Amino acid sequence: MTEKQVQNIVAQAIAETPLSREKYYHVCWWEDKFQCLHARHTKEVHDAFYSAPGQVFIEGLSPYQWKLLTERIADFCHRRRIELDACAGQMNSERGTSISGQTAQVTDFDATRLRKVLADARASGSARDSCLDRLQRLLDTADTVPPHDVAGNVVTMNSKVRLRDKHDAEMTVALVFPKDAARNGDQETRKVSILTPMGLAILGRRVGHLIANRIRIDGLVYQPEGARDFHL
């Protein structure tokens, strides 16, 4: 079992969990697979490998935290004689559909504003037809929820997102509306319009989502709904 394989399993478990910043969660072995669950999900004694507030999992584990977690899980599998395929099960074999193919989640507030972006762009004769068509399909197929109900690890409009590529290089981007893309922001955060391939690739996706098998959504630095900034 490689370190990357363990991280992929854990990233998927985190991505599948609706997280609240204030509550505590842990990565554990439960029901014969690795899961990220509320720290009080059961009173039964079971193996847990790392516990932290939801905010830590939403924003992404540090290299030290990943190393600690990876070593604990690798040792657990070695001691229990659990092979990677057996302990991962559908989590590993279906990784392409459970993380990268997971249905996008969009707030109804964002959906309303994005449909207006579509209408305005088409009325002005915008040449970015492919991006407009992709946004239309995304809105038509997304799971639309009220802002108060969006999961804490989902990228929404005006979120600041930390991305990591296959070479372990990081960058932070802010997902913005087209009219805001040219406005000055902080020097460490690149603004990405929703009407770009990158913007469309991250909207509605969860931490752990893999973009084109090259770039992973590594964490959320800021999510308006999580910060109760429902006007953004």
Asked if the structure places residue 117 within a domain, the reply is yes
Which amino acid is it at 157? M
Q: Where is the domain boundary, 39, 74, 100?
A: 100
Asked if the structure places residue 188 within a domain, the reply is yes
Taking the C-alpha atoms of residue 162 and residue 59, their distance in angstroms, rounded to an integer, is 8
pTM over 0.85: no
Asked if the structure places residue 230 within a domain, the reply is no
33-43: average pLDDT: 89
pLDDT for position 27: 94
Range of the domain at 80: 3-100
Q: Which residues contact 163 (CB under 8 A, 6 or more apart)?
A: 170, 171, 172, 173, 202, 211, 215, 216, 217, 218
Q: What is the mean pLDDT of the chain?
A: 83
109-131: average pLDDT: 83
Tell me the pLDDT tens digit for each residue of 126-166: 555 678 888 998 999 899 999 999 999 999 999 999 998 87
Q: Residue 223: phi, psi to the nearest 5?
A: -130, 125
132 C-beta neighbours (distance < 10 Å), count: 17
Asked if the structure places residue 112 within a domain, the reply is yes
Q: Residue 69: phi, psi to the nearest 5?
A: -65, -45
pLDDT for position 34: 87
- What total of structural domains would you count in the chain? 2
Asked if the structure places residue 23 within a domain, the reply is yes
pLDDT for position 184: 67
Q: Are residues 41 and 71 in the same domain?
A: yes
pLDDT for position 92: 35
Tell me the pLDDT tens digit for each residue of 91-104: 333 333 334 446 88
Q: Are residues 49 and 91 in the same domain?
A: yes
Q: Where is the domain boundary, 100, 127, 159?
A: 100
CATH number (domain holding residue 199): 3.10.50.30
Q: Where is the domain boundary, 100, 125, 145?
A: 100
Q: Are residues 95 and 109 in the same domain?
A: no
Asked if the structure places residue 232 within a domain, the reply is no
Q: Are residues 96 and 66 in the same domain?
A: yes
